[in-house]
């Protein structure tokens, strides 16, 4: 059963936060990260650190707003610097991951692979980056959003609007992927 999902893209300012906030909206989870989320935990992060602390891009905020989603609370985080929530039904799992990092020398990256049930990349480059760091026994958790959950869209990847524009189309593509993920994985709040 899927109880935790991490969405990942290059900068965590367009695609992965959009996926996180659409996922939250579809399952009626709290709109902003950080508080108690009940039995389900969702987060987003970057594979790169060049945007750490930045808000979502204003073009993505505008596109999301047109679809009824507010991305303004979001701040970019690098995947390896995620802080697990303090209030969560999986608190023991997150505490164990933190303890393993301290005692066993695991990096945040290793703990992320242990902590999250699914780690969903937006494109093949993100997936390759994740796969290169992922312990072999955790590789089954790595997914590509469109290829694995919305193959009917005719593409495998979510294009990066940072370089290519088309923020509203990217939002709609991500939404189809999230709907497929929720259905295929049988996720409910």
| Number of independent structural domains in the chain | 1
Tell me: pLDDT of 8 over 90: yes
- Dump pLDDT digits (tens) for 47-92: 887 788 889 999 999 999 999 999 999 998 876 544 444 444 344 4
- In which domain, by residue range, is 129 found? 4-185
Would you please indicate which residues are annotated as catalytic (active-site) residues?
Answer: 9, 15
Q: Could you report the per-residue pLDDT of 110-150, keeping only the tens digit for each?
A: 677 888 999 999 999 999 999 988 999 999 999 999 999 99
Report the CATH number that the domain containing residue 169 is assigned in CATH. 3.40.50.2300
For every residue of 40-98, DSSP letters joined together read -EEEEEESSSTTTTPPPPHHHHHHHHHTT---TT----BGGGPPPPSS-TTHHHHHHHH
Q: How confident is the model at residue 186 (pLDDT cuts 50, 70, 90)?
A: very high
């Amino acid at each position: 059963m899927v109880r935790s999902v991490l969405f990942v893209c290059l900068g965590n300012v367009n695609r992965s936060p959009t996926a996180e906030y659409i996922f939250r909206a579809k399952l009626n989870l709290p709109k902003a990260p950080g508080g108690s989320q009940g039995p389900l935990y969702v987060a987003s992060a970057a594979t790169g650190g060049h945007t750490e602390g930045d808000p979502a891009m204003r073009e993505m905020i505008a596109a999301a707003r047109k679809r009824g989603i507010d991305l303004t609370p979001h701040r970019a985080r690098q995947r390896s610097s995620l802080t697990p929530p303090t209030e969560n039904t999986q608190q023991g799992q997150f505490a164990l991951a933190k303890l393993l990092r301290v005692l066993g020398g695991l990096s945040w990256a290793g703990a992320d692979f242990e902590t999250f049930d699914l780690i969903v990349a937006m494109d093949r480059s993100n997936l390759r980056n994740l796969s290169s760091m992922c312990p072999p026994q955790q590789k089954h958790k790595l997914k590509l959003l469109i290829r694995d959950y919305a193959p009917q869209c005719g593409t495998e990847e979510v294009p990066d609007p940072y370089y290519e524009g088309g923020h509203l189309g990217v939002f709609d593509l991500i939404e189809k992927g999230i709907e497929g993920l929720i259905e295929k994985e049988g996720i409910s709040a």
